[in-house]
Structure 1
Amino acid sequence: MPVTVIKEELGQSMPPHGPHTVTVHIPGWDTAMLFRKGDKTIHAALKSMYPRFGPTNEAKQLAAAIHPKLSLPETYLCQPFASPDVFAAASEYAFSHWRKEEFKLEPSELLFRVVDIADTRLYVLAYPAAKGPGIMGVWQNLGGGISTRLAEHLLAHIETLAVDSFEASGSDGVAALEKVPETTYLPEGDAHQQIRERIVELLQRVPVGDVAQKVVPADVFLYNTGMAAVYRLHQAMLAVRPGTVVVLGAVFSNTWNLFKETPTRSKHFGRCDAESGVMDKLEEYLAGEQDAGRQVSYVFAEFPSNPILVSIDLKRLRMLADEYGFAVVLDETIGSYSNIDVLPMADVLVTSLTKSFSGYANVMAGSVVVSPSSTLDSLLKSTLTARFRNELFLPDASVLLSNSQDYLPRSTILNRNALTLAKFLLTHSASESSPITGVLYPPMTNTLANYTAHMRPATADFTPGYGCLLSIDFSNAATAKAFYDNLAVYHGPHLGAHRTLAFPFNDAIWGGGADPLTDPDFMYHISYGLRPEQVRVAVGLESEEELVDTFAYALQFAVAAAAAAEK
């Protein structure tokens, strides 16, 4: 069948367009690299944006309306948040030794203000625009900020804006936290409780093995983004059990940044495939920590990992956790509730509900589920409850709940499409002329047994699979680029959506500087599988035939590039 050309402009979202979409089309390899480098022309063209990557148009409009009321310098930008503890988090982040000197703010430059709009209290960070990279991690890594729907709602009532008398700067903001005006936070509604009940229903659906204690809605905590869920849990875990945070395998870049900068200790084991011996290495590390009088707070892992789809040995990890007393935190976003049952192996699950659970790329949220079988259950739940304030706007919760109603039928199509595409790519890689050197998808890895050990049993209405995400390794950058530049799907970062997305994820997200291959951090990530010549693919709901034809067409250009290089 003929390939459908993507006609969307740079910076637009995938259809259907709207003010609340969380995708952005960044067509072509070179454009993605310019995006990585912060090219102003590229960023100025962005009409849509993944909200944590940068302020959306609605948030920018709201900030622009707030800005003149705060008597800020013209060279300043401001960013509104719904929680007062953003002031402490911003101070800790902005003045950390991790910040690059050229972007590090002076204490007097980071300003804290409070405003009220339509019975909603906002906590505003104001900072010099030129030093934005030194503060943006507060919404990127910590998951803060407000949603497009909340911003749209507040813009409609901007005439009610009132500025509170509270003012502080970075140096005295933390000291003045007790004086920061409190808030009632955002009100919850029936949709919040129904989402909790929906998650419980999915977690208890055809479990793997016997269930000692069933999860209940009170075990589920909802947050405004997936990273907010990770961050809030991280804070609670260190309060309940101080110690080292151990990370296994590839994890999402913002999660990595959060753990890397944790004020306690962190340890990362990058390579976690079946030949890595990682569990033996972890056991040796745990014994060494114990001998040194230190303890591990928790071990964090994605199952399977993004973007290389490795599945760690959860049974061995659980045995080590029981022996050494640490908690196991699993991010099952990629495997997803429908396909896998990993709660018996975990003390806590975190999930980006923005992805497959939502499925339509038009709302953000995250969840934390505390296992009732965990020895930390009571203490951790009470800590999370004491710290919890709702930041998930009710209209966002309502959209999320509506989207989730067809989660299982969508998951059937996503599983089918990804497996069909992975098999096609694997067959292509067997050809001598193929520039594909690896297809990264759970059935094609040497950790398949670890994944299948936790697959849910099939039912009359659903057969579990391996999720929507896969990655393709190419022989070199030229063949990867030739393929990607001719791949007629939407180009950009996201997964679990209704349309297929592809992105040179590693090079664009992890690459950082002008020449990533001189970056020691990126070289480390390359060592365990995050290769720059890799294209990440998140399949959508198209037909299998359309997907195979689209990828076959693009592969012709990669084959031609490989042949030209040999001449």
Structure 2
Amino acid sequence: MPVKVITTELGHSIPPEGPHTITTHAPGWDTAIRFRSGDPALFAQMKSMYPRFVPFCETRQLSAAIGSKLGFPEGYACLPFLSPDIFRLATQFATNHHRDKDPKTKLTPQELLFRVADVAAVRLYVVAYPVHKTPGIIGLWQNLGTGISTRLSEHLLTQIDSLTAHLFSANGGTLEGLAVPEPTYLPEGPEHGGLKERVVGLLKREAIKEVGVGKGDVYLYGAGMAAIYGAHQAMAKVRKGPVVALGSIFPSTYHLFGESPSGFKHFGDVRKDSGVLEKLEGYIQGEKAEGREVGYVFVEFPSNPILVSVDLKGLRGLADKYGFPVVVDDTVGSFCNVDLLPAADVVVTSLTKSFSGYANVMAGSVTLNPSSPHYPLLTSTLATIYHNEVFTSDAATLLSNSNDYLARSTILNRNALALTKFIESYITRPESPVIAVLYPMTSDTLDNYRSFMRAPTAEFTLGYGCLFSIDFEDKECAKAFYDNLAVYCGPHLGANLTLALPFNELVFGRDPDDAKHHAAYGNRAEQIRVSVGLEEEEELIETFKVALGFAEAEKKRRNSTAH
């Protein structure tokens, strides 16, 4: 079978490209490095972008229009949000000691300008900042995930002439004591209720243990990171103490927790013989000896990008023993394959990924476990702090996309398993630079994963999700493979088409200390992350076979040069 040729130009989304697609095709290892360094020439070529990275398309146009109408100084840009909390958070973020790494981009409170404006009955809280200091503030948009969507932006742009500015005006140095206008947030419609019903139905489907979860236990957010931030906010209200994360977690989650006022502790290695639960218990006991408690423990199941599955049963035992909540991100395993409510007090999910499946909308969910001892307090807390920020059109798109979630997930499970088995056969070939395939099926923590798999049914073939990674001997071989892999290249997972990315080199490669820390538990720079799509199995195998041939040729070339 001939390998499919990718004709999509750099900077465009995977097909079918549309006004709200959330991927970008950035082929080549060197392109990933340029992306990491923020090369302006590269970003000028981008016609599509993951909207949580930076405001893009309609959101960028809306931001520019708002900035013009509000009359911000020349050289300023702005970010619109729906919550007034963003003013306080912006000041905290911009002046946090983590910004000290780059004094040129660290902002002073006085440089942040805060305004409030109404457009089409939607109240926006606008944070303006000097453009040349964007790296010092953009994490506010990236790590919280609470920025407005492209569909909402598109809607507001049609009525931008109705913009009314409030008399409120402040900067980060004068906010204290000022009365900020009350928010409007967004109305909920039948689409939101339909989404909650679908999530509940999937959580109950072939459940390991019935926990009585209902629509009222599901909270919708504008992005997966917004869901994590929402759960984090609720936990901070009910539990004082550091967040503890086990295993590999998404970089934005890592940064969010790393700047938590209550502290952050990370145990990266959760492999079978890591002794991570013993280390966790020792840490908990040490905190108690100092008169402190752990706030909560967070895990991804399995973890992105190394697909290790922590011992959730053992973690649940520790949680019951010491009284801390467990928050589990099930995005990679996905609703259809795993039931995590028996171990989790809270389940967070990026609905942007395989639940949506078509890479054209963003959302997330937080589900509270009614059987949890923390349920009453968490429920009452979210009743006071939760507000809908999911635009009706986004909810409708997500509801429509998820109609075929189970059918698509069967194919994703099948393709990923077939590819990982094929690539795993290369490990024993002397000429091959492949040293490992990272997937729940190949991990020494497979039993942990299988302990939470749902029962098989005739309508759905259970599996291990769409994501896996390939470890190579060195960067040169990883690069040779990636540069010749005829799939779409860029961030995202769970899309309709296969995506690949030198994930760790992209997100950790700028800081050698950061890279060393994450490589120690498996997030190696010599690794390529792959999210399979809905292509034919044989086509994918042939595509990867060709790219692996280039990696083998690079190893042969280097060996011959060395001798």
Q: TM-score range by the shorter chain?
A: over 0.9
Indicate the larger mover: 538-547 or 278-287.
Answer: 278-287
Match of 1:132 among 126, 131, 134: 134
1:172 maps to which residue? 174
SS of equivalent residue, structure 1 residue 542: coil
Corresponding residue of 2:66? 66
Query: How far apart, CA to CA, are the structure 1 residues paired with 2:182 and 2:90?
Result: 17
Deviates more, 1:95-104 or 1:397-406: 95-104
CA offset at residue 174 of structure 1? 4.2
What residue is the counterpart of 1:284 in the other structure?
282
Q: What residue is the counterpart of 1:149 in the other structure?
A: 151
What is the CA–CA distance in structure 1 between the aligned matches of 2:109 and 2:18, rounded to whole Å? 38
Alpha-carbon separation, structure 1, partners of 2:544 and 2:212: 43
CA distance in 2, matches of 1:161, 1:245: 41
- Match of 1:107, as an amino acid? P
Equivalence for 1:27 = 27
Q: Does 1:366 align with 2:371?
A: no
Q: Which secondary structure does the structure 1 equivalent of 2:332 belong to?
A: coil
Question: Once the two structures are superposed, what CA deviation does each residue of 1:488-531 show, in whole Å capped at 9, x if it has no partner?
Answer: 000000000000000000000122x2xx4xx2121110110010
Deviation at 1:183, TM superposition (A): 2.1
Q: Deviations over 1:252-296 (max 9, x none)?
A: 000000011111121100111002111111112112212221101
Deviations 1:90-135 (A, max 9, x none): 1111111111322111111100011111111111110000111111
1:558 and 2:556 are equivalent in the alignment: no
1:536-557 Cα deviation digits (max 9, x unpaired): 0000000100100000011111
CA distance in 1, matches of 2:266, 2:63: 38
Structure 1 runs of 4+ aligned residues shifted over 4 Å read none
Indicate which of 116, 119, 122 corresponds to 2:118.
116
- Equivalent pair of 1:309/1:440 in contact (CA under 8 Å): yes
Deviation at 1:235, TM superposition (A): 1.3
Secondary structure, aligned partner of 2:371: coil
2:429: which partner in 1? 431
Q: How does 1:192-203 map to 2 (within 5 A)?
A: 192-203=192-203
Aligned to 2:493: 495
CA RMSD of aligned residues (A): 0.9
Distance of 2:176 and 2:351 partners within structure 1: 32
Deviations 1:18-55 (A, max 9, x none): 11011011110000001001111111111111011111
SS in 1 for 2:99: coil
1:40-79 paired onto structure 2 within 5 Å = 40-79=40-79
Q: Please report how far the alpha carbon of residue 417 of structure 1 lies from its aligned counterpart in structure 2 after TM superposition.
A: 0.2
Normalising by the residue count of structure 2, what TM-score does the alignment of the two structures yield? 0.98
User: Which SS does the other structure have where 1:345 is aligned?
Assistant: coil
Q: CA deviation at 1:85?
A: 1.2
Residues 241-262 of structure 1: CA deviation (Å, up to 9, x unaligned): 1112110010000000001111
**Do residues 103 (structure 1) and 96 (structure 2) align?**
no
1:429 positional shift: 1.7
What does the per-residue CA deviation read over 1:112-166, in whole Å, with 9 as the maximum and x for residues that have no partner?
0111111111111100001111111111001121100011111111121111111
Alpha-carbon distance in 1 for matches of 2:343, 2:45: 45
Aligned residue number for residue 223 of structure 2 = 225
Matched residues in 2 for 1:556 and 1:410: separation? 30
- Identity %, equivalent residues: 58
User: Could you tell me how far apart the structure 1 residues matched to 2:71 and 2:150 are?
Assistant: 25
Which residue of the partner structure matches residue 537 of structure 2? 544
Match of 2:295, SS state, is strand
TM-score (norm 1): 0.97
Identify the residue that residue 88 of structure 1 maps to in structure 2. Answer: 88
The partner residue of 1:535 within 525, 528, 532 is: 528
Aligned with 1:185: secondary structure? coil
Partners in 1 of 2:348 and 2:207 — Cα distance? 18
Cα deviation for residue 448 of structure 1 reads: 0.2
Which runs of 5 or more structure 1 residues have no equivalent in the other structure? Answer: none
1:502-541 correspondence to structure 2 within 5 Å = 502-511=500-509, 513=510, 516=511, 519-541=512-534
Amino acid at match of 1:113: R
Letter in structure 2 aligned against 1:95? T
Distance 1:510 1:332 in 2: 23
Q: Please, which of 381, 384, 387 is the counterpart of residue 386 of structure 1?
A: 384
Q: Is the 8 A contact 1:91 1:173 kept in 2?
A: no
Q: C-alpha offsets along residues 316-349 of structure 1, whole Å, 9 cap, x if unaligned?
A: 0000000000000000000000000111101000
Instruction: Specify every segment of 5 or more residues in structure 2 that has no aligned partner in the other structure, as ranges.
Output: none
CA drift of 1:173 comes to 2.1
Q: Please report how far the alpha carbon of residue 355 of structure 1 lies from its aligned counterpart in structure 2 after TM superposition.
A: 0.3
1:342-361 Cα shifts (integer Å, max 9, x gaps) = 11101000000000110000
Stretch of structure 1 that moved more, 544-553 or 52-61 = 52-61
1:234 pairs with 2:232: yes
3-state DSSP of counterpart to 2:496 = coil
Between the aligned partners of 1:158 and 1:244, the Cα distance in structure 2 is 43
Deviates more, 1:55-64 or 1:388-397: 55-64
Q: Match for residue 339 of structure 1?
A: 337
Counterparts of 2:185 and 2:283, CA distance in 1: 42
* Inter-partner Cα distance in structure 1 for 2:147 and 2:274: 39
Structure 1 contact 457–463 (Cα < 8 Å) conserved: no
> How many Å separate the matches in 2 of 1:23 and 1:377?
36
Q: Which amino acid aligns with 1:541?
A: L
- Quick one: distance in 2 between partners of 1:440 and 1:146? 35
The Cα shift of 1:184 comes to 2.0
CA apart distance, 1:399: 0.2
Deviations 1:379-437 (A, max 9, x none): 10110121011110000000000011100000000000000000000012221111101
1:16 aligns with 2:16: yes
| CA drift at 1:171 | 1.1
In 1, Cα distance between the equivalents of 2:250 and 2:186?
28
Q: Give the Cα separation in 2 of the matches to 1:253 and 1:241.
A: 23
2:441 aligns with 443
